[in-house]
Amino acid sequence: MALVIQAAAKTDVGLVRTNNEDNFAYDIGRGIFVVCDGMGGQAAGEVASKIAVDAVLNHFSRDPHEDKVQVVGRVFGEVSERANRLAHAIQLANQAIHRSVARNPDRSGMGSTIVAVHAQGSQFSIANVGDSRIYLVRGKAIQQLTSDHSLVMEQVRRGIITVEQAEQSKMQNVILKALGSEESVEPDLADHEFAAGDVLLLCSDGLSRYVKEGTMAEAINAATSLETACDELIALAKTGGSDDNITCMLLRTVEQSRRERLVEWFTVGNKNSQRSLS
């Protein structure tokens, strides 16, 4: 038996915004999953998040052993080659947004957060820049795997304010690090290992700021499918008063025999990859 990944993702404009600045994409075959939350006026946020998603997916569509595959940024010795490939992809995304701003002065201030997962077998690596998040749901327990690059969470880490105070702060939207704001960026990286039945939740802050962790886990465990779990999480964010775009992506690991994997490969087809329509 081997672990395989099932995935579903949905994005919603939410209750207040008229445009959706979130974007997502995944490719199960290559084991790459991305959620981005754009920022910037005059629709520039949706441009930034799409640039980022496309840059990461395009990077992983290339053979990593090709001489022409671009490697940018430093090598992180404390994590795997798999995690470093994520870091290179994010550097390329950052450069693409930064160049777009340089060519279009009206997009000044444009940027995007990013969370990404690169999975290979029972191993997976994560990367993040900004305040979008990745959670691991294992049984009834839920754990946040990423750390927000935000002003309030930096104050929490320094002991200036409590988590409860951070959740009530009017400064929650102040991001300390984002794609596109500088010529280079260093994402947070980490390596992890899957267990059968694990669920990873990648989401924008339109979800995480308005739904408690325990409620997220309950909704995911109670849902009959990943698609209905996404619907329920978005509905919960709206009920909680979310004033932002809402995006969630769910990955679930299941054990399958080789024969089951072959049957799924021939029947699922293009459901193995998906991009948002925003």
pLDDT at 277: 58
- Let me know: does 69 contact 79? Beta carbons within 8 Å: no
Q: Which one, of 239, 126, 128, lies nearest residue 176 by Cα?
A: 128
What mean pLDDT value characterizes the chain? 89
The identity of residue 223, as a single letter, is: A
Residue 218: which residues within 8 A CB-CB, separation 6 or more? none
Provide the number of structural domains found in the chain.
Answer: 1
Confidence of residue 172 (pLDDT cuts 50, 70, 90): confident
| pLDDT, tens only, 102-123 | 898 888 889 999 999 999 999 9
Record the pTM. Answer: 0.90
- Name the percent of the chain lying above pLDDT 70: 89
- For the cut 60, the answer to whether the pLDDT of residue 270 exceeds it is no
- A 10 A CB-CB count for 154 gives 17
To the nearest 10°, report the CA torsion of 220, 122, 76, 39: -30
Q: Which residues contact 254 (CB under 8 A, 6 or more apart)?
A: 3, 4, 5, 6, 196, 197
pLDDT 10s digits, 206-241: 999 999 999 999 999 999 999 999 999 999 999 999
Print the domain residue range for 48. Answer: 2-275
CATH number at residue 23: 3.60.40.10
Question: What are the φ/ψ torsions at residue 98 (nearest 5 degrees)?
Answer: -60, -40
Q: What is the pLDDT of residue 261?
A: 53
